[in-house]
Amino acid sequence: MASTQRDSRPVAIVAGGSTGIGASVSRRLDQEGYRVVVVSSKSVDEGKAVVAELDGGWYMQADLGEPGAPAEVVARVETELGRLDAVVYAAGQTARIAHADIHAVTDEVWEGILRLNVLGPWHFVQAAEPLLRKSGNGNIVVVGALAGVDVGGSCIPYAVSKAAVHHMCKLLGGALGPNIRVNAVAPGFIETRWTRDWDEFRDQISARAPLRRTGRPEEVAELVVGLMRASYVTGQTIVADGGLSLVP
């Protein structure tokens, strides 16, 4: 981690902040004046590169699928930075399995996806809650997916995991107020390294969505920041899909 002299700034953890949507969120929160702690499990070089762009950014490697990892991250942030004001959970896992091919979905697929997509943010909430409450204006934003709102997605376990995390955010919004707000964003097709080879889906969505294009990570990052600013909003899932879900 790099040192910083601007200790009065609010602190945000971005889990999965090395690539894609998470990296855009990390950069955007830096612009908003946060000290950003970028956390990832595998994309270490990418995470360090993102941190190098930030003003006093920190990088931590952690296996976010391990139950104790969020608590270790939060404990180190408290020791080193003394506060925590926001957590954005943008980590995730999926697999490309046709929905009708139910026999290709093994327990291993289910367990890996649920561990990272549902239990990961849950453990972060548990670990971060005391510090976020102490901040007086704590924010949690989880990156869900359109697949958790509508029929679709790269596989059924992925869609189910996102539906679960959306509902979890709704329940937590009711449970953790007034000092902590919890919301989710549900992006549709976003141009990331996950989707770079999904040409067929890209063409279909660009043809059907009212905005006639796919989305960009920085557009989701703007929505995340908007929810963090929206002081009278909690327990909500906001869809960003270019209008695709409006099409019958």
- Residues labelled catalytic: 158
**Residue 113 has which token pair?**
């996806």
Single-letter code of the amino acid located at 39: V
For Cα atoms 55, 61, 64, give the angle at the middle one, nearest 5 degrees.
Answer: 120
Which residues are within 8 A (CB) of 228 and not within 5 positions of it... i.e. 6 or more apart?
Answer: 86, 139, 141
| 54-89 burial: b if 16+ Cβ within 10 Å, else e | bebbbbbbbebbbeebbeebbeebbeebebbbbbbb
